[in-house]
Amino acid sequence: MWPANFYKILSFWYLENKRDLPWRKSRNPYYIWLSEIILQQTRVAQGLPYFLKFSETFPSVFDLAAAPEDKILKLWQGLGYYSRARNLHAAAKMVVDLYNGEFPKKYKELIKLKGVGVYTASAIASFASNEAVAVVDGNVYRVLARIFGIFTPINSTQGEKEFNELALLLLNTKDAATHNQAIMEFGALHCTPKKPKCDDCPFQQNCYAFKERAIAELPVKLKKTKVKKRYFTYYIVRCKNELLLHRRGPKDIWQGLYEFPLVVSENELNTEAATKEFNQLFGESADGFRLIQKNQKAHKLSHQHLFASFYEVQLKELPITNMYQKVCFVEIETFPVSVLISNFLESYSF
């Protein structure tokens, strides 16, 4: 009787279609945790090489906890949402300090770790110790909404409650690890956001969205926060074989990453305005000032669209200041930077 055979259908599909992923071959909660943090807001294809780099560079939680933050941010470079990397570091220190390096396996302990929410704690607990907790991520929301015809917004309080209750009701408590992996994999590979494989779906006879032609309508999500536009004017301030770098502070994007001296504005600065801003920033005029690159296409973040301009500025002598540090050209690639800066550096000739 439906939905009693939900797991039977799901597990059969999973055994036939699951991907061969390294973190699935281990019950070690440390490696499972690494994979889950890396895969937050990240596709498997993009996250896999980062998992391999981190697990090789930091084979134990002790290695990760003892590493300098700059090293972690550099390894994380290009993955985005850098707060995950800082939380990763903080959580590793917590495991060493509070649990003597013995990574917890149970939900009630995992949820205490920095950067570990309900989903991540549930995933680690079920995958590492088969604890009977249901995992609900974006893939699971989509699968459940379509099959069972749930129109409650997934990003509402009521929606979270409703989907979590259904996921727990459906959960095979004797094999929670396989069940959770299977439903997430089904959403990632089969019941995809666009062009799901409905013609070859094992749930077709029972799927509300398929029968009612509501596939594109589900799941329902409340409208996102309005996207903000910001204009970044960067200055490559150089003298001989040195230039200036600045480390970004808290309470903004890219915390802890390095960049060139920067002016942020609500509108694009022309060369005259950019020159004035530079003079105010450093209290002196530049000997050489030229536009190197202007991004016509926005660098898109979750709630922000960034438009960047890069100006090269030649000075007779680099200023001594607490805000900026002098860096030799050959050292720049050792600093963790945003994708925006990294892409610029690939095309810039020192």
Q: What's the pLDDT tens digit per position in 196-235? A: 999 999 999 999 999 999 999 999 998 877 888 999 999 9
pLDDT(301) > 90: no
Q: What's the pLDDT tens digit per position in 118-148? A: 999 999 999 999 999 999 999 999 999 999 9
CATH code, 273: 3.90.79.10
Q: Token pair 């596709």 is at which residue?
A: 43
Rg (CA), the chain: 24
pLDDT(286) > 70: no
315-320, long-range: CB < 8 A, 24+ apart: 315/237, 315/238, 315/239, 315/284, 315/286, 315/287, 316/239, 316/287, 317/239, 318/237, 318/238, 318/239, 318/242, 318/243, 318/244, 319/244, 319/282, 319/284
Question: What mean pLDDT do residues 34-61 have?
Answer: 95
**Do 52 and 179 sit in the same domain of this protein?**
yes
**Do 289 and 189 sit in the same domain of this protein?**
no
Task: State how many domains the chain has.
Answer: 2
What CA–CA distance (Å, rounded) separates 251 from 246?
A: 16
CATH code, 34: 1.10.340.30
HSE (CB half, 13 Å, CA atoms) of 119? 17
Question: What mean pLDDT do residues 279-306 have?
Answer: 80
Catalytic, out of 16, 36, 185, 259: 36
Residue 193 lies in a domain: yes
What CA–CA distance (Å, rounded) separates 335 from 201?
A: 47
Residue 53 lies in a domain: yes
**Do 191 and 80 sit in the same domain of this protein?**
yes
Burial of 333: CB neighbours in 10 Å, binned 0-12, 13-18, 19+: exposed
The answer to whether 63 touches 93, Cβ cutoff 8 Å, is no
What CA–CA distance (Å, rounded) separates 33 from 23?
A: 9
Which of 217, 247, 271 is the last residue before a domain boundary?
217
Nearest to 261 by CA among 302, 224, 233: 233
User: pTM for this structure?
Assistant: 0.84
The answer to whether 337 touches 345, Cβ cutoff 8 Å, is yes
Provide the residue range defining the domain that includes 206. 6-217
**Do 110 and 205 sit in the same domain of this protein?**
yes
What are residue 307's DSSP bridge partners?
231
Decide if 36 is catalytic.
Answer: yes
Residue 223 lies in a domain: no
